[in-house]
Amino acid sequence: MTGSVIRALADFGISAARLEGYPGVWVGTHSDRPSKIAAVGIRITRERSMHGFALNVDPDMEMFARIVPCGIADRPVTSMASEGVDVSIREVATALADHAARAWGPGLDQAEAAWSAPEAPARPTAGRADVAGALALSERKPEWLRVKADLGPEYRRVRSVMRSLDLVTVCEEAGCPNIFECWADGTATFMINGERCTRACGFCLVDTRRPGPPDPDEPARVARAAARLGLAHVVVTAVARDDLADGGAGGFAATVDEIRRLRPGARVEVLIPDCKGDPASLEVVFAARPDVLNHNLETVLRLQRAVRPSASYARSLAVLARAKAAGLTTKSGIILGLGETPAEVGQALSDLRAVGVDIVTMGQYLRPTAAHLPVARWWTPAEIDELAEVGRGLGFAHVEASPLTRSSYHARRGAAAASGAAEPVALLSRSAG
């Protein structure tokens, strides 16, 4: 790592080296006052190593006069700009990636985060994605995205059960376009821990007002609904509850337990928030042994900060890696149409597969209101099919991809493919997904 930084700096005419007795990368090492230009960090936790570095390209150097950088009082800090080099962060990142690839061998993938901060937020805490030529909210959707409403008896039956038990479905709260198809098939995805989310992702329609306390009877009501509907595969999701010490993990565990008590033959799939990556909270969910553990990556690395400002690409991958290490079948999803490129989607799929994800979903983003992120483009069914083939080539057990695909769409089919077992024969017309 240090060598790659030194060689990249040399590309821009800066002579840098290691300094005996001090970590990092330094310039002027043969003078009586060398200056630090890059910090390097390595940490080992639970037999896992984490590496990183911070290279000063053109920061405000005034701030370093107010602190003791890296705890070294008698050594100044410098930057590439201070050394007389006018270069962009993107150029430096490209040079660093090139040298890292040479040092670490072929097959290195480079994924880039956003190069500038999001514009002024469209919602209180959601940034706008950097989308050139975004589609107007009023633009007519293509034929393949138009859904016919079906308010038949099964739709009304599911709605009646949900209302009678005072339950919330993500189908309604997130404005899912598949609600008529799924409810007509006796399908619904339960949303627990209330209907108000503590985050405000730029794509999501769920209410972001201050949430109330969790309802201790909610898990039992979800289980009763699953029993009344005769569900063979039950999908449970939730709002993010960063206000709770466990991030809402206890609600998931209790709901899984109640469903297993009343519907012992049903598979249970959970779609969880990241619980801020807290290992103890995640372990509460893992210990309940859901049949499928889903956590959505949502978008490519470059767009993460604008699309889900309170989340993290790396944290989401870590959650999925932990779930896989716990022996669970894992699943994740990507939203299409926020400005990502096919290559970036391919990189995200590769990252998901690298941490052992078994099932992946991909579907077209539909802008809920003018206050949400704009649609950059409509992905055609043929283009989405091509992305699905990329996913299959990477070795996912199941890839569910179409313009209208959402996280729990055909969930039963994906779970069966990942487990190698046949779909439950009984009550398929009442299965959630």
Please report, in angstroms and rounded to a whole number, the separation of the first and last CA atoms in the chain. Answer: 46
Can you give the residue ranges of every domain in the chain?
A: 2-104, 143-430
| Positive or negative torsion for Cα 399, 402, 405, 410 | negative
Q: DSSP string covering 147-215, please?
A: ------HHHHHHHHHHHHTT-EEHHHHTT-TTHHHHHHTT--EEEES-SB-S---TT--SB-SPP----
Domain 143-430 has CATH 3.20.20.70: yes
Q: In tens digits, what is the pLDDT along the chain, a chain of 433 residues?
A: 788 899 999 999 999 999 888 888 989 888 888 989 988 887 776 566 677 888 999 888 887 776 777 777 778 889 999 999 999 988 998 898 888 888 877 656 666 666 554 443 333 333 444 455 678 777 778 887 766 655 666 666 666 776 777 666 655 554 565 555 654 554 567 888 877 887 878 777 776 778 788 889 999 988 988 888 888 888 898 888 888 999 999 999 999 999 999 989 888 999 999 999 999 999 999 999 999 999 999 999 999 888 888 889 999 999 999 999 999 999 999 999 999 999 999 999 999 999 999 999 999 998 878 878 899 999 999 999 999 999 999 999 999 999 988 887 778 888 888 887 655 544 433 444 4
The torsion of the CA quartet 213, 217, 222, 223, rounded to 10 degrees, works out to 150
Rounded Cα gap, residues 11 and 111, in angstroms: 21
Q: Which of 202, 371, 175 is nearest to 299 (CA)?
A: 202
DSSP state of 226: H
Distance CA 246, CA 258 (A): 19
- H or E stretch at 229: helix 218-229
Specify the CATH superfamily of domain 2-104.
Answer: Bira Bifunctional Protein; Domain 2 (3.30.930.10)
